[in-house]
Amino acid sequence: MHVGTDEKSPAIELIGKTVLTGICAGILLAMLSPYRTETIFSVGERFLFWIASAVFGCFTLVAFYLTGRNIAQDYRIAQYTWLPISAALAAVPVTLMVHAVAPAVNSEIELQPFWQLFPSVLILCLPLQLIMHLLLRTVAKPPLASALPTVANDLSPLLAKLPPHLGRDIMCLKMEDHYLRVYTAVGHTLILMRIGDAVKMLHAVDGLHVHRSWWVARTAVDESRMDGTRLLLVLRNGLQVPVSKDRRAILEAKGWLTG
């Protein structure tokens, strides 16, 4: 029993989502023609300008997004702080790119100086960065596979029970009666194994038993948030894992909590 049969590598999925988002954003902006670009470019020039700018902008936003999130996790910086900062920093090279692309599309264009054009670019980068954040949850972090070969012998009984297409990137475990649901980066499956036995096999992997029914790998955690009085870990596949009250202090001491 398993779901999630997508075998695309995280890198390919990341590039695909970024390109597709950039193209869609570029087409939308070309149709809306903000900043009076309909008076500056012809129809063809306008679509070329906005699509090229949006695709480049999305790749730049992703680069700053990944860097910002890694730094935020190391220093426990809240998401509402580092996310707009990453967009603002990305807007600098995007503005420089606009200065290069616009005259290439239409040699007669007269652009504003950088410091006047930057706010206009930033206004577009902020919501686009939020969109990229929502789209890239499942592909934005490096896989756990690099840590697994060193404990391959310990993990072999667990890995042998997983369908090959699920790979080796074990993100979390969930106890379900006498069964264990194993989540990887590309899906999940139900196996017959006790969670305690599985956790022992994962002793060399950076992870924690965050709840009686849940074990989570550190690299799988995207952010933490409160839902009323409940603390939740949001994983990079969108899964929300509850944290028991007696484990909160341990997670905080180890720097797992993002805000």
pLDDT in tens, 242-258: 999 999 989 888 888 86
Q: What is the mean pLDDT of residues 85-105?
A: 93
Confidence at residue 120, expressed as pLDDT on a 0 to 100 scale: 93
Listed in sequence order, the DSSP H helices in 180-235 are: 195-201
Confidence at residue 74, expressed as pLDDT on a 0 to 100 scale: 62
Q: 96-126 pLDDT, tens per residue?
A: 999 999 989 888 888 888 999 999 999 999 9
Q: 127-178 pLDDT, tens per residue?
A: 999 898 888 765 544 444 444 444 445 567 888 888 888 888 899 999 998 8
Q: What is the CATH number of domain 144-253?
A: 2.40.50.1020
Residue 250's nearest CA partner among 205, 207, 196 is 207
Which H or E element spans position 63?
Answer: helix 43-75
What's the pTM value of the predicted model, to 2 decimals?
A: 0.58
CA–CA separation, 148 and 156 (whole Å): 10
Say yes or no to pLDDT of 13 above 50. Answer: yes
Domain boundaries, the chain: 2-135, 144-253
